[in-house]
Amino acid sequence: MLAARAFCDIEDARATPHLIRLLTDTCALVRVSAAYGIGRNPSSDAVEPLINQLNQDWNGYVRKGVVWALGNCRDARCLTPLTVALKTDISAVRLWAASSLAQMADVGYEAVVGAIPPVIEALLTDPIAAVRSNCAWTIGQLCRELPSNIVYGAAIDAIIQAFAEDKDLGVREDAKASILNVGDPRGLQLIETLEEEGWFFEN
């Protein structure tokens, strides 16, 4: 466990095959340390073992580490398991799945287009405010890689809706930050209008 955990801080490709092997260790503490170690030392060779472990591991802490590692692998194969985790797993795993899906921005256009709909859905419907906040941040990251098309428009609409309607102040703050990050004119105008009316501070 301690040896695997060391590679959460150390980057050395020689460790990756050993960390992959430890993903199936009988001890959950070893598995979670191996997952975080792979996240620090991502490899295309680790993607399938990570996906397999995500699908079968009973321990939520391990799945959380696996989800983080999958995001860092920046591989198109990670899109489906991350979106499934965002929809179906426990809140701690959904939280990290939302953030990990932002890494699809580095994978390519198709991955971004595939990631946005489930992130929008979670932004608008997830019962946990922290998950919604991460979704707002992720949409901001993904939109920066999109042209102004229908997918981009739907994503901006969702961020605007979260900013205007979410009951949690933290979610609204993160939605606002994403709009500012993207620099969408329609979103910026809405922020200016609502804040001039004092709405943001009253709700």
What is the per-residue pLDDT across 104-160, written as a single tens digit (0 to 9) for each? Answer: 999 999 999 999 999 999 999 999 999 999 999 999 999 988 888 999 999 999 999
The pLDDT, as a whole number, for residue 62 is: 98
Domains of the chain: 1-73 (1.25.10), 78-203 (1.25.10.10)
- Would the pLDDT of 198 be above 90? no
What is the per-residue pLDDT across 96-119, written as a single tens digit (0 to 9) for each? Answer: 999 999 999 999 999 999 999 999
The pLDDT, as a whole number, for residue 186 is: 86
Instruction: Please state, in angstroms and rounded to a whole number, the distance separating the CA atoms of residues 32 and 26.
Output: 11
The pLDDT, as a whole number, for residue 23 is: 97
What is the per-residue pLDDT across 32-82, written as a single tens digit (0 to 9) for each? Answer: 999 999 999 999 999 999 999 999 999 999 999 999 999 999 999 999 999
* DSSP per-residue codes, 6-23: HTTT---GGGHHHHHHHT
For residue 190, name the pLDDT band (cuts at 50, 70, 90). confident
Cβ count near 101 (within 10 Å): 32
As a whole number, mean pLDDT of residues 165-192 equals 90
Task: Kindly tell me the sign of the dihedral angle through the C-alpha atoms of 176, 169, 82, 10.
Answer: positive
Instruction: Please state, in angstroms and rounded to a whole number, the distance separating the CA atoms of residues 27 and 157.
Output: 45
Contact present, 50 and 73 (Cβ < 8 Å): yes
As a whole number, mean pLDDT of residues 89-94 equals 98
The pLDDT, as a whole number, for residue 199 is: 63
The pLDDT, as a whole number, for residue 71 is: 97
